[in-house]
Amino acid sequence: MVGVPTLIPACHAWTMRPQVVAHRGASHELAEHTLSAYRAALDTGAGGLECDVRLTADGHLVCVHDRDLRRTAANRGVVSNMELADLSELDFAAWKNPWADLDDEAPDEDEDLRGVLTLRKLLETVADYDRRVEVAIETKHPTRYGGLVEKRLVEMLRDFGWDQAGAPVRIMSFSFTALQRVERLAPEVQLVQLFDKPNQWPMLRRVIGRDWTVGPGIKILRQHPRLRESLVRSGRDIHVWTVNKEKDLDVCLELGVKAVISDRPRFMLDLLDERFGGGE
């Protein structure tokens, strides 16, 4: 286990149970960004769901990470050049289990669970769920549509009444400019500045908003103890991605992070139950 940074008293370690956020759904077991993966994450008890959003050619926000579809839908198309109807014809789950068609005993799966997932459908699923679940929405940049992505996103949050303080959503991005846009459009929405290089932090800590959360990757936290100490000294809430191993969860617990984003939400919840007892 990585040692507790010297500025953190030992009694402070492991006193806060972080929220477990399902990264693209329960994406270790099921195809990322499918409704199937998100429903599985909800059923495991995840406190939050994470998704990436991109804008289609006809103006729909869809939950897709890559700019093109080669990895997740065996298609050469680019999301921003395609309409939602075209995306709806593709299978976004086959890549995860390419031999599924050979299993005669596998149950038939609803095609809606395998197809492209719109952000609206995901938010509707969360809104209808029988407990509070939070959604961490990452806008992807650069994109041909620039600030239109954030504009459409905030418009959708208003449809749900989720552009106010206390709403179960937060917006994340590696783009400082994108988060500034959201802040102008919806100043009460929680913002998370993502970063993946330690040398980005000295600049970011001077320019990001006073109430913004910081979202470092677990890799740079493991490799840079001084960064860990600096983040704690900043007094900001910390959300860490992508935390899939027990030793990495321990690093997060030592730092007192507020959320861990994981491909394996059930595994993380079980580990936290062992350390803290009970449920999230």
In order, the DSSP letters of 133-183 are -EEEEEEPSS-TTTTHHHHHHHHHHHHHT-SSTT-SEEEEES-HHHHHHHH
Provide the token pair at 168.
Answer: 């179960």
- When divided into structural domains, the chain yields a total of 1
For residue 195, what are the contacts with CB-CB under 8 A and spacing of at least 6? 174, 201, 204, 214, 215, 216, 217
23 annotated active-site = yes
Q: Is residue 111 part of a domain?
A: yes
Q: What is the pLDDT of residues 148-173, one digit of tens each?
A: 999 999 999 999 999 999 999 999 99
Give the separation between CA 132 and CA 89, rounded to whole angstroms: 32
Q: Is residue 104 part of a domain?
A: yes
28 annotated active-site = no
Q: Is residue 4 part of a domain?
A: no
137, 169 Cβ separation under 8 angstroms: yes
Q: Is residue 2 part of a domain?
A: no
Q: Is residue 3 part of a domain?
A: no
Q: Which amino acid would we find at residue 234?
A: S
Q: What is the CATH number of the domain that holds 252?
A: 3.20.20.190
pLDDT recorded at residue 71: 97
pLDDT recorded at residue 101: 52
Alpha-carbon dihedral 209, 212, 215, 221, rounded to 10 degrees: 70
**Is residue 9 over pLDDT 70?**
no
Average predicted confidence (pLDDT) for the chain: 92
| Owning domain of residue 207 | 10-276
**23, 28, 33, 239: which is the annotated catalytic residue?**
23
Q: Is residue 144 part of a domain?
A: yes
What does the pLDDT average to over 105-121?
A: 80
pLDDT recorded at residue 102: 45
* Mode of pairing for the β-strands spanning 61-63 and 48-55: antiparallel
Beta bridge partners of residue 78, listed in sequence order: 68
**Is residue 221 over pLDDT 80?**
yes
**Is residue 99 over pLDDT 70?**
no
pLDDT recorded at residue 107: 55
**12, 65, 141, 224: which is the annotated catalytic residue?**
65
Give the separation between CA 31 and CA 77, rounded to whole angstroms: 19
Give the separation between CA 195 and CA 193, rounded to whole angstroms: 7
| pTM for this prediction | 0.91
For residue 39, what are the contacts with CB-CB under 8 A and spacing of at least 6? 113, 125
Q: Which amino acid would we find at residue 96?
A: K
Q: What are phi and psi of 137, to 5 degrees?
A: -105, 120
